[in-house]
Amino acid sequence: MDVARGILAVLSGSLVGFTLGLTGGGGSIMATPLLLYVVGLGPHAAIGTGALAVSVNAFVNFAGHARAGNVRWRNAIVFALAGVAGAATGSTLGKAFDGKRLLFLFALLMIVVGVSMLRRRPVQAVGGGDNNGSIVKVVGAALAVGTLSGFFGIGGGFLIVPGLLFSTGMPMLFAVGSSLLAVGTFGLTTAVNYAVSGLIDWPIAAEYIAGGIAGGFAGMALAIRLAPRKALLNQVFAGFIFVVAAYMLYKN
């Protein structure tokens, strides 16, 4: 049983990593449903374990963007550090929330993510200045996004990118690269909070992360080849998210 569950964890992690590499932000929203319905973890254990896996994968992707010069360090660090308080608060509330109600709300969030993917505009590599923006705006956006990220145990990239755009006015490409530091930090904060309560399955987490890293490389390689069809890929994946969300709403 443990061997079979481990294989399912690796395959599920590979799928999440593959979709992240292929479509960009939004793929991590599938981490919790796969851990819940495929691997067989309980609601809170799935959220805690998924948060850890999303965190590790985000830091791996962040390293690539940093090497490419796609990070506005001041804004990325301020946003990540300010949002930690929100992520800690949100994850504490999430742990205390009834599991089925939390999953019901999670399914509604998935619908929002799917809609945002359908409306996503292509990333443009324009601009170059270090748009610092208002520190009050950056901190305020970080606290709000961090709280939602912690409550649902998600990376929250689809919220962090608009938050950075709103508070700093930086170009989209730099918002995407800078957001990954916050995604990793928020996920790690949530994972630590859940770990304190014993709500992370460590062997499953390790297998899930390994699969995610391998799947991510495959997804990025395919994304380069299918770049002209990026909009179609987003539409297909958004449709998949809607189906899973409908199933979660039905079950909960």
The confidence score (pLDDT) of residue 185 equals 92
Min mean pLDDT across 160-164, 174-178, 236-240 is at 236-240
Neighbours of 77 (CB within 10 A): 15
Contact 208, 13 (CB under 8 A): yes
The confidence score (pLDDT) of residue 15 equals 85
DSSP letter at 125 equals -
Min mean pLDDT across 70-74, 123-127, 178-182, 232-236 is at 123-127
Contact 110, 54 (CB under 8 A): no
Min mean pLDDT across 37-41, 126-130, 212-216, 246-250 is at 126-130
For 206, the token pair is 């390790």
pLDDT in tens, 17-33: 887 776 655 667 788 88
Residue 126: exposed, middle, or buried by beta-carbon count in 10 A (0-12, 13-18, 19+)? exposed
DSSP letter at 97 equals S
Longest distance between any two alpha carbons in the chain, whole Å = 54
> What is the percentage of the chain residues whose pLDDT exceeds 70?
87
Place of tokens 């039905």: 250
The reply to whether the predicted model has a pTM over 0.85 is: no
Question: Of 189, 195, 157, nearest to 176 (Cα)?
Answer: 157
Q: How far is CA 147 from the centre of its chain?
A: 14
Question: Of 64, 63, 69, nearest to 125 (Cα)?
Answer: 69
Q: In angstroms, rounded to a whole number, what is the distance separating the alpha carbons of residues 252 and 240?
A: 18
Q: In angstroms, rounded to a whole number, what is the distance separating the alpha carbons of residues 54 and 29?
A: 9
Highest mean pLDDT of the ranges 55-59, 116-120, 156-160, 161-165: 55-59
What average pLDDT does range 68-86 have in this prediction? 90
The band of 206, judged by pLDDT with boundaries at 50, 70 and 90, is very high
Q: In angstroms, rounded to a whole number, what is the distance separating the alpha carbons of residues 227 and 24?
A: 12
Strand, coil or helix: what is 68?
coil
Its sign, for the CA torsion 238, 71, 136, 132, is negative
pLDDT in tens, 172-187: 778 878 888 998 899 8
